[in-house]
Structure 1
């Protein structure tokens, strides 16, 4: 069976369930990730004399599997890991978790059962990494990232700082131009590397295999980083354990600080103990010549270390709390000196609650020493509003990342989002870099027009504010608004209830709709054969990058439709559905489209997947192509006949309900025919007919009962026919899977499944655009529909009528 990414992830998270409850997430992550490491290197390198990792005899995952149920399983697992660590110089890396610790894993049978279950999970077919033929797509690395993200979420604020969200890491990598790296001789460094996720994301963005350097002071976190490097095929990365500020490890032979081509960092925010073991005034690396940061706040200490670690042409990015942009005293002096040197290239303000160690908003400070002396401004982006809620955290979407990167790398000026701020303007603001000083990202107020409320008419100011719509639909404006007897105002020509139809039925809107459809159709034609040509060994990540980028480009010139929203539809569908499909094709080929398998229950006697078809006792699951796609394409007539039978059944059922509603009450003619549960059944109705047989006085009841019985029998007959038709249809469909040709599989999967869904999604953006315009026009039309004097006259007339009624009733007001 082909391996889906989603199944890998769910199995890995199930391994956490085997430990959850016994210990904190910040601890059980060490056990799970070590087992993941052992499983991966065993699958990939066992028996390979040229492998990057040596898997010694008695040091493999297979040896762990053989221990399931053994009384000394914990002790033996420790010994297996020790052998693997010793053979690969990984002592202190993969042997940090004690698998024989009764305080964490339980004692006796509890430990045996827990560890046996844990090993069993990693022995599942979907975690057989020997099947991974898409090496360039790094399935295992993505799985590791998945676990790290979840561990960070569960570890809480105090222990979640070991992981930088992948989305932020990608922005940092692109902002410093990792994609423009010139050779493998260049270097990348992270002075507070945590689990190494930020380092790896930056490294992966480069076209060459850059040399990786990292330093991390926490023992367990440094071990995570080392394992992370191996799992991402970067085993030569040098990850050192020590305090970067007090004991930087990477030093030149002459005692100076080693410098790098690229530096990325996500240091602990506002570190109160940054100066431990360090006398900044006597720093031999001269990192604090521009000033000494406050003793209880280390943000600038880390920033100054990054600056000192950059080559003369080096580029860097560091995540900082917003306080570094505006705090005074010593930090103000340091900030001014760095700005005057021109080292800060840009600042990207991020949404709040992105990071696992804190909920406060942060920013990315982009540094660039190359041509710093000639820099005349700092490019700023306020991206604080582009995100989606994800559980208790916020998360950047693919569209948010792309927009930030496009804006920064192309230096795009976007109203209320980004601008180049001249150094002269910054100097006038006393070198305060607080983003709201320079970018007002707030939405303009929807101002009420007092004169319009008093005299009627719609302010031209509000209509002109929709100029981007009128640029595309100029005649629609004339269709909706006419001249007024007062300058600066217009009269509505269409009632509020008719605004939507006036817009949607206009020829200009039809032309614009055709333009949107044409953009998608062009993209579809351009990539149809590429999608149908996916073959074993292809790299899914390369595919999605190519087709997504082209979709973005094709919608770049379409006004009123946000190209990033269109892009997001594709990326969302990719992550939820299409990614799994493409990975299966890249591993097993198109033949997988014929697969429909019988589901089996897990150890708990439950099905872990929802079946597509149930035939008798068999619950079946299609691998790539759902039965609905086959039915729609090849069995439309049979489906229509089935739906007709089901509709007939529902129609009869409604007739029975109506009879019950009319005659089923306590005094009704059907009441005595009901079961104890208040139901009308064929048996209960027949029983009642027997009871009243021969009683002429009950003729009316007898007639109603006979009608009801007939309906019940008709319903059963129709339901039976529908059931048999469904079984026949599903049987034909199941048999058809084996008959599917490769051309049919490609038609069903690419055109009927992927592209059909995407086309609907694109159409939804057109609908959304029309709804925004319609909603605004309707609001303006209704807001100023009746001037205040008319309202007062109407109120006065109604008040007079009310007083007259009260007077006639003897309650006249005085």
Structure 2
């Protein structure tokens, strides 16, 4: 039932999203539709909680029936508000519930804006304030993107809310995460249409699965998981699917809109406000969780991004042990250094990087050598297929790090670059491709043309160059060419051409025209 409902819900939500398509660009209609869905979710979640947990039969009404004419209205509202803020982290009055505004036929934009601001304001001074602060700021209902006139804007928003009102989110089904998965499906759909910018907010689900399974190997529960470039949060949420429990989620994201999306995504997936801490800032320049140590770390940072590489960072504990900073033009290893610094002694981390990080020289070569020779933290290098990320077709790799390695005398290299299914716009990792990567990492075996367990002495001989073809030979020998057969075939073709030329010459003679030969 849940699978069917999930597929139906995804289709319904995507169809509603398309009512905004053509009115505005993909980024804008993404922000509006996801914001409206989030508002409906908050409304239904709160109403269900109040009706199921707070109101009694003796009260004689459900939350929607609590009116200002009730002599105890203020008492009820005060107690319900306190309970909702403690359990859910936010509050809505009965008249602010989604379907009230969705079913109105008059002008709703001002009231809707007020409701969204009231949700944010309800958290002020509480433990959830940071998680709801300016959460709806991208839903500018006065924007000309919604229409030329106020009437046009109102008509479009009313239409979208009306369609959403007809959809059953099935929040009472607590055994599954149908709505959360559908929400992430929508984010993925937007990413597939967003071109270059997609990589800023979404990691393809298959890649997220690989990273999540790598960092959870051998673990059933995690105290903490961290993503320093979390985008909309898919990696953090994917890690949760691979274990029985994650006690706390940490993340940091530079882009404000994407940061808002990440917070919504966590809440939509049932992660309570007091179980995650996502901050908006530049991770390398202004880290927000630098004193924490994490049991699992995953990241898909922007490939070869620029950063300041300020000399002051030579005194930063994240970078100072290496004696070198990553180059200004390529921050790949700056992210590695940052993540290694925050990795707990019993932790595992996996990071996606461009292939160049495996073999480029200069400071990056120095950092690679330090990580392997001095610290022995690098556990595996995995080559991925090209064209599996939104917005870029370059081949990428995963580097896996552990501070307490079970096999400290070798490195595992996996070349999964040829194992994928070709889709319309990009290559895709199928479940069997993911399983092969993960099982090879788990079993740590050498497989012909796929993986190789390299002694550290061999890596040292290669001057800590980690280019995968140095270790995994995927060369396919071509079958020998039978030159005699080729010669015979060419002679046969010549004879056929001569015969054809004679036939054509005959036709030309009958027609009284010159032969082309």
1:143 alignment counterpart = 182
Distance in structure 2 (CA, Å) of the matches to 1:240 and 1:266: 17
Taking a change above 3 Å as real, the CA distance of residues 59 and 443 of structure 1, as seen in their structure-2 partners, is: farther
Task: Name the SS for the 2:382 alignment partner.
Answer: strand
1:39 alignment counterpart = 40
Task: Name the SS for the 2:466 alignment partner.
Answer: coil
After superposition, the C-alpha distances for 1:318-365 in whole angstroms (9 at most, x for unaligned) are 010111100011111111111212211111111112112422111111
1:361 alignment counterpart = 395
After superposition, the C-alpha distances for 1:501-550 in whole angstroms (9 at most, x for unaligned) are xxxxxxxxxxxxxxxxxxxxxxxxxxxxxxxxxxxxxxxxxxxxxxxxxx
Distance in structure 1 (CA, Å) of the matches to 2:339 and 2:266: 22
Distance in structure 2 (CA, Å) of the matches to 1:260 and 1:794: 70
What count of residue pairs does the alignment treat as equivalent?
A: 456
Which of 48, 53, 56 is 2:92 aligned to?
56
Task: Please list every run of 5 or more consecutive structure 2 residues that lacks an aligned counterpart in the other structure.
Answer: 54-83, 124-128, 510-517
Which of 254, 262, 270 is 1:225 aligned to?
262
1:129 alignment counterpart = 169
CA contact (8 A) 2:346 2:403 kept: yes
Distance in structure 1 (CA, Å) of the matches to 2:45 and 2:447: 48
Distance in structure 1 (CA, Å) of the matches to 2:26 and 2:354: 26
Structure with the largest fraction of helix: 1
Task: State the shift of 1:435 in Å.
Answer: 0.9
Which of 118, 126, 135 is 1:94 aligned to?
135
Distance in structure 1 (CA, Å) of the matches to 2:413 and 2:302: 23
Task: State the shift of 1:311 in Å.
Answer: 1.3
Task: State the shift of 1:197 in Å.
Answer: 0.6
Task: State the shift of 1:132 in Å.
Answer: 5.4
Alignment of 1:156-235 (within 5 A): 156-176=195-215, 178=216, 180-181=218-219, 183=221, 186-235=223-272
Task: Name the SS for the 1:319 alignment partner.
Answer: strand
Taking a change above 3 Å as real, the CA distance of residues 449 and 114 of structure 1, as seen in their structure-2 partners, is: same
CA contact (8 A) 2:414 2:451 kept: yes
CA contact (8 A) 1:152 1:161 kept: no
CA contact (8 A) 2:295 2:344 kept: yes
Distance in structure 2 (CA, Å) of the matches to 1:206 and 1:237: 17
Task: Name the SS for the 1:421 alignment partner.
Answer: strand
Distance in structure 2 (CA, Å) of the matches to 1:313 and 1:794: 69
Give TM-score scaled by structure 1 length.
Answer: 0.52
Taking a change above 3 Å as real, the CA distance of residues 379 and 76 of structure 1, as seen in their structure-2 partners, is: same
Distance in structure 2 (CA, Å) of the matches to 1:351 and 1:360: 9
After superposition, the C-alpha distances for 1:202-238 in whole angstroms (9 at most, x for unaligned) are 1221222331111112221111111111111112211
Which of 417, 428, 433 is 2:466 aligned to?
433
CA contact (8 A) 1:217 1:242 kept: yes
1:16 alignment counterpart = 17
Question: In the alignment, does 2:72 pair up with 1:30?
Answer: no
Task: State the shift of 1:274 in Å.
Answer: 4.8
Distance in structure 1 (CA, Å) of the matches to 2:158 and 2:228: 39
Question: In the alignment, does 2:115 pair up with 1:77?
Answer: no
Task: State the shift of 1:84 in Å.
Answer: 2.1
2:436 alignment counterpart = 403
After superposition, the C-alpha distances for 1:227-254 in whole angstroms (9 at most, x for unaligned) are 1111111122111111211221114xxx
CA contact (8 A) 2:381 2:397 kept: yes
2:56 alignment counterpart = none
Taking a change above 3 Å as real, the CA distance of residues 799 and 95 of structure 1, as seen in their structure-2 partners, is: closer
Question: In the alignment, does 2:404 pair up with 1:370?
Answer: yes
Distance in structure 2 (CA, Å) of the matches to 1:145 and 1:358: 21
Distance in structure 2 (CA, Å) of the matches to 1:797 and 1:109: 76
Task: State the shift of 1:286 in Å.
Answer: 4.4
2:454 alignment counterpart = 421
Task: Name the SS for the 2:327 alignment partner.
Answer: coil
Distance in structure 1 (CA, Å) of the matches to 2:437 and 2:270: 29
Q: Which has the higher contact order (CA 8 A, sep 6+)?
A: 2
CA RMSD of aligned residues (A): 3.0
Which of 360, 367, 376 is 1:327 aligned to?
360
2:57 alignment counterpart = none
2:79 alignment counterpart = none
Give TM-score scaled by structure 2 length.
Answer: 0.81
Task: Please list every run of 5 or more consecutive structure 1 residues that lacks an aligned counterpart in the other structure.
Answer: 252-256, 455-782, 810-814
Distance in structure 2 (CA, Å) of the matches to 1:799 and 1:128: 75
CA contact (8 A) 2:303 2:354 kept: yes
Q: Which has the larger radius of gyration?
A: 1
Distance in structure 2 (CA, Å) of the matches to 1:798 and 1:96: 74
Task: State the shift of 1:412 in Å.
Answer: 3.3
Task: State the shift of 1:442 in Å.
Answer: 3.9
Distance in structure 1 (CA, Å) of the matches to 2:490 and 2:360: 54
Task: Name the SS for the 2:447 alignment partner.
Answer: coil
1:317 alignment counterpart = 350
Taking a change above 3 Å as real, the CA distance of residues 227 and 274 of structure 1, as seen in their structure-2 partners, is: farther
Distance in structure 2 (CA, Å) of the matches to 1:217 and 1:288: 26
